[in-house]
Structure 1
Amino acid sequence: MFSLPSLEQLVAAAHVVALPMRVKFRGVLVREVMILEGPAGWCEFGPFLEYDDEESSRWLASALEAGWLGYPEPVRSRVLVNATVPAVSAEQVPAVLASFDGLATVKVKVAEAGQSMADDAARVGAVRHLLPDAKIRVDANGGWSVEQAIAALRMLNVFGLEYAEQPVAGIAEMAAVRRTLNGSVLIAADESVRKASDPLAVARAGAADLLVIKAAPLGGVRRALEIVAEAGLPAVVSSALDSSVGISTGLALAAALPELPYACGLGTVSLMAGDVTTPSLVALNGGMHVREVVADPDLLAHFAAPAQRRDWWLERLRRCHALLRQPSEW
């Protein structure tokens, strides 16, 4: 594959940035990530702060693949992209959608802690009111029980759902929801794929109609392509609240998939009030063209994280790098 760069090389190439959000997303108002420059290009190491070292090491493997090896050859030059609506109030939906260009597909976050099914219905209904012809998908991030998921999806399907992403947490629970809904709402697996020790268990259990794939949590573009091929299910490529550098990895994965029947969730830079490159990698007329993303030194400096946060990320890098040095992890 390629030689693992030394920790000293990575530290020398590392920039830690703190990017402000326009709206809260996954509870995040400031997104911290590490940006690195390798011989093959710029890459991003950005596991969420709560992730442990074992899980985070896969994100580092993905970054090193991008920066030190490069991406597989694409089979398409443009990828359709959905807009994303966080768990905001229905009144805030128009302002969120205004930041996206070309709105043929919209993903709406639901099942937010502290909110009700009525809040979800109001948010999805606001999207449908504004965009009567758009495809709408919902994402619960595993926040419902089986009973709640069945009730909520039957209710929300009055607005016409393309699919529901990770309505419940477990694979067995996903299968139960899918059996009960019996095709009236398609079920997509996200966390059940990227957090499981066996990503193919979802397909074997008949728990999903399609997979939502993120390159970084799976260890990189090549590993994600292998999982999709082995699972034999349609795939949607999604982001993990990345900068444009991180989005370029998801875009490379989407561009390399043999088949791509759904719009991809790669438009989250539009939810940010800061980025590391100009122009940002955002959708134009509902899609993204595959291109190289180069970080801007001035933006890296402008959004540089405080010294103590840089130290925190460098220590995390050290621990994850040590895991990758083990043959079983690399």
Structure 2
Amino acid sequence: MVTYITLDSTITGVGKYAYDIYNLMKPDSSIIQIIFNRKYIDNNYRNPVLGTKYPVLNYFLSGIVYRDIIRKVNSMEGIVHITSQTIKPVFSARNLVVTVHDIMASQENIKADSIEESLKKIYMNRYLKAYMNYENIITVSNKVKSEILETFNVDGNRIAVIPPHVPEYFYHLDNKVKLREKLGLPLDKILILSVSSAQPRKNLGMVKKVVERLGNGYALVRIGPAVGNSITYNNVDQATINEIYNACDLLYFPTLMEGFGYPVVEAFKTGLPVVSSDIDIIREVSSGAAMLVDPENLQENIRAIKRIMEDKDSLIEKGYNVSRKYSAHNVREKLVNYYNGIMDYSQ
């Protein structure tokens, strides 16, 4: 049995990873959501472990506030998988695993834009350093593993690269016209899909500039915070997310930095061509199936979006092929082999 530990709701990238991997490994899995901040309460979790209503108290007094659940987890005989390096390292169960999605908290070129974010970065870096002492570390990409090895004194044999899977609710649907009518999307425009948080590294300023310069023949569809005059969706269910992907014409993802880049492979599986950033992680994840650009070159981004509609058929086919690497079967097999290397996790 493997028990997953998460803090986040499923609307965040790391929260989605936790919930997806838990479902992937059923029936030999369980999941515990610990609420440090009540904005992350999620209806997918029936019995979250609540702290006080003050996040600061929950973080600084974790050993007291969460004493009972810490004792329970630490007494578990099976595998305990901490699903993100952003979780405070308060557990000492026998068979601990941690997933490190990125090491941005330790990178000097990632600037915090507020005092709160600066403090958060300090603590996230402390957590990250603590997790580097774990015997069992999973990263989601070779790029993150190489960054860990460059930054920390860690034995590479303790780090396994196991990417996330693309859940089964992402798949191709026919008839964009019907989907657009159902969703209330314009029928006479090229729809550019943008999926992300509003973090500075998501480069939403570039998204806004590009769409404004493309003109009236294009419209921006956002899953996440609004950008300019975008058609914006938040808190939608899985089926609707899949319909939104399928109703659009391309994914535009000009990120400056990622640990993985979920939207790229989700777009591949739904049959969307992708314009994204020519950076190491996107090159790794897309494997030649996306049109890559300098994410800070406005004219290059505009040209790519115009051109991709001409080359979309070959890119869509390549994307489908790449998405198979991230299938539930392939990723589950890797996880089972990994867990069994630690212990017989089915016990």
For Structure 1 versus Structure 2, the TM-score category normalised by the shorter chain is under 0.3
TM-score normalized by structure 1?
Answer: 0.27
TM-score normalized by structure 2?
Answer: 0.26
